[in-house]
Amino acid sequence: MSEAGRRVLVGRIVGLYGVQGWLKIESWTDPRTRIFEYASWWLNAEGKAERAVTGAVGRAQGKGLVAKVSGIDDRDQAEALVGLDIFVDRSALPPPGKDEYYWVDLEGLEVVTIDGIGLGRVSHLFGTGANDVVVVKDGTRERLIPFVQGEYVRSVDLSGGRMVVDWDPEF
């Protein structure tokens, strides 16, 4: 699937900071301050209209991060943004390293076993303490496959839209 138009969740607005429109945010970038390197943010939450913002600046503040968004100059304006997710365009992200993938790039891939048996498509991924897990759905069944390259995940072909796994189709 093309990167055009795809967005990646990188954080969330979680509170207010001061009276001049500053926001407390959570960042899931690495390092967490990298979120401020993206020129454009898309703010969105289920059931709310999407909003594009540019020129966000911020800093570490205590154990968290605070941000100032262009055009938000007081606490009342900022309050309307609390709870919104922060997305960036997929095309703005740096290219992943060898054998590294952004989760958003794996979503939608067809998943087949090493014997060519179709298991479904990647619905989403989630992290655990030990490794990431690929959730594969085929309409009637959901499978959770550890994303361990070489052991369970044998190959990923983003351009071909396919992931090959060493997995028992009955499991």
**Which pLDDT belongs to residue 49?**
78
| Statement to judge: residues 83 and 142 lie in one domain | no
When divided into structural domains, the chain yields a total of: 2
Could you tell me the pTM of the whole model? 0.78
Residue 41: strand, helix, or coil: strand
**Which pLDDT belongs to residue 1?**
42
Residue 2 included in any domain: no
Give strand ranges (E) for the chain: 7-17, 22-27, 40-44, 51-54, 57-61, 64-68, 85-89, 110-113, 118-127, 132-137, 142-146, 153-157, 162-165
| Statement to judge: residues 33 and 61 lie in one domain | yes
**Which pLDDT belongs to residue 137?**
97
Structural domain boundaries enclosing 107: 103-165
**Which pLDDT belongs to residue 2?**
47
Residue 98 included in any domain: no
> Residue 149: what are its φ and ψ, rounded to 5°?
-70, 135
**Which pLDDT belongs to residue 5?**
65
| Statement to judge: residues 75 and 12 lie in one domain | yes
| Statement to judge: residues 113 and 84 lie in one domain | no
| Statement to judge: residues 54 and 30 lie in one domain | yes
| Statement to judge: residues 82 and 24 lie in one domain | yes
Residue 19 included in any domain: yes
| Statement to judge: residues 86 and 129 lie in one domain | no
Residue stretches of the chain with pLDDT short of 50: 1-2, 4
| Statement to judge: residues 29 and 60 lie in one domain | yes
Q: How far is CA 120 from CA 7, 103, 156, 157, in A?
A: 23, 17, 15, 15
| Statement to judge: residues 26 and 53 lie in one domain | yes
Closest by Cα among 99, 101, 25, 36 to 62: 25
| Statement to judge: residues 19 and 79 lie in one domain | yes
Residue 97 included in any domain: no
What CATH number is associated with residue 107?
Answer: 2.30.30.240
